[in-house]
Amino acid sequence: MPTDAQTPQSAQTAHLVDQLDPATTALLTVECQNGVVGPDSALPELAEAARTSGALAKVARLTAAAHEAGVQVLHAVAERRPDGRGSNHNARLFRAAGQLPVQQLTGTTAVRIADPIPVSDEDLVVRRLHGLSPIAGTEVDALLRNLGVCNVVVVGVSANVAIPNAVFDAVNLGYTAVVPADAIAGVPAEYTPAMVRNTLALVATVTSTDAVLTCWKRSPRLR
């Protein structure tokens, strides 16, 4: 008979603890900026989903816990120059974004990290002017490797585009991706759990905010 420590649930918990070791883990918040999830969002339906689902509040809890546990935090921000130079125009999404009343312009309040997510001096903010991914074509990979990171916890928005891009890119680059499913949001609301179940669960460790917080509470601050 297996002991309690050998039960599938115990084994799963132990595996998650290993994947969330603060010494080798980073928390990546994706597009959690005022112009996307804030009160004056360019995408009010997405902002509403992030808030009413509790995802934004959970991102804030995870960020605070990461600071406490010594987990490196990176904030991936999407922005564009006022003249649009270097930004994509090769998809419907980009063309529509260029017509929105709120623009994610460099240096404006729209590209600041949204409340209630805390930002510390040790956090890294990675800004991109092009593309769909918070990782591909940005400094994220180099920064993570220089920090000795091999596990990336991905949270934020949107479950429609940027989150799956981040997870796929992390996995393709050799990182282990961990997704607290209740800390991401997309539209419509029912799309997010379907995408997690049928797509992200195939390539990432899908878990919950509480499970991640429990693991980090067990870990002393290592940084």
**DSSP sequence for 27-92:** EEEES-BHHHHSTT-S-HHHHHHHHHTSHHHHHHHHHHHHHHHT-EEEEEEE-B-TT-TT---SSH
pLDDT band at 218 (very low <50, low <70, confident <90, very high): confident
Is the pLDDT reported for residue 8 higher than 70?
Answer: no
Q: Which residues constitute the domain of residue 114?
A: 19-217
pLDDT, residue 7, reads 46
For residue 13, tell me if it sits in a domain: no
pLDDT cut 90: percent of the chain above it: 79
- 78-121 pLDDT per residue, tens: 999 999 898 878 888 877 777 877 889 999 999 999 999 999 99
- Total domain count for the chain? 1
For residue 9, tell me if it sits in a domain: no
pLDDT, residue 91, reads 80
Asked whether the whole model's pTM tops 0.75, one would answer yes
For residue 222, tell me if it sits in a domain: no
pLDDT, residue 203, reads 98
Is the pLDDT reported for residue 1 higher than 50?
Answer: no
pLDDT, residue 2, reads 46
For residue 5, tell me if it sits in a domain: no
pLDDT band at 222 (very low <50, low <70, confident <90, very high): very low
- For position 208, which CATH number holds? 3.40.50.850
- 59-69 pLDDT per residue, tens: 999 999 999 99
For residue 8, tell me if it sits in a domain: no
For residue 172, tell me if it sits in a domain: yes
For residue 110, tell me if it sits in a domain: yes
Render 151-171 in DSSP notation, one character per residue. EEEEEEE-TTTHHHHHHHHHH
pLDDT, residue 13, reads 78
Distance CA 124, CA 48 (A): 26
Average pLDDT over residues 160-164: 98
Distance CA 32, CA 146 (A): 24
Q: Which residues pair with 152 in a beta bridge?
A: 26, 177
- 37-77 pLDDT per residue, tens: 999 999 999 999 999 999 999 999 999 999 999 999 999 99
For residue 12, tell me if it sits in a domain: no
pLDDT band at 5 (very low <50, low <70, confident <90, very high): very low
**9 against 167, higher pLDDT:** 167
